[in-house]
Amino acid sequence: MSSNHRKGKIFLLVLSIFIFDQITKFLALKFLAPDRVIKILPFFNLVYIENTGTAFGMFKFLGSGFFIGISFIAICFLLYMTFKDKKNWFIYALIIAGAIGNVTDRIIYGYVIDFIDIHVGGFHWPAFNIADSAISIGIVLFIYQSFKK
């Protein structure tokens, strides 16, 4: 695959995930009320959460400015890795798209909008969003690729 073709695929993947993430967060902001749960399936709800922390709401005390700075550093590093490690461009693009989606929320709102609630009985996984999903899938694929070598 030529360099320009790969760059185009990276751009389209990142842009597609970013747009889907932002549309779903806009819909969550518009139609989901805090403290309201919409049951979709026995294990899947829609909720509205303003996450000022990082994964699982941890480290809230560090503030949005800290997370915005770390996100920009991570995005720059991942962009570098995308073009250095050409065979894993898809993995890096997933993580970049998720990071851009969540940092956009932090810049606009001061928090990340989470709305997906997966649960089994009374155990609820912390609410998440499309950007979080892209980051998580990218990390799992990265770990898999690392062990595969």
Rounded distance between C-alpha atoms, residue 1 and residue 7, angstroms: 10
In order along its 149 residues, the chain shows pLDDT tens digits of: 677 888 899 999 999 999 999 999 999 999 998 888 999 999 999 999 998 876 655 555 566 677 788 889 999 999 999 989 989 999 999 999 999 999 999 999 999 999 999 999 889 899 999 999 999 999 999 999 989 86
132 has catalytic annotation:
yes
| pLDDT (0 to 100) of residue 97 | 98
Number of domains comprising the chain: 1
Rounded distance between C-alpha atoms, residue 44 and residue 117, angstroms: 6
- CB-based contacts of 120-127 (< 8 A; 24+ apart in sequence): 120/43, 126/55, 126/56, 126/57, 127/47, 127/49, 127/51
Give residue 120's domain range: 3-148
85 has catalytic annotation:
no
| Catalytic member of 21, 105, 117, 132 | 132
Give CA 61 to chain center in angstroms.
21
| pLDDT (0 to 100) of residue 61 | 53
| Catalytic member of 21, 105, 114, 117 | 114
pTM of the model: 0.89
| pLDDT (0 to 100) of residue 105 | 96
Of 148, 123, 136, the closest CA to residue 43 belongs to 123
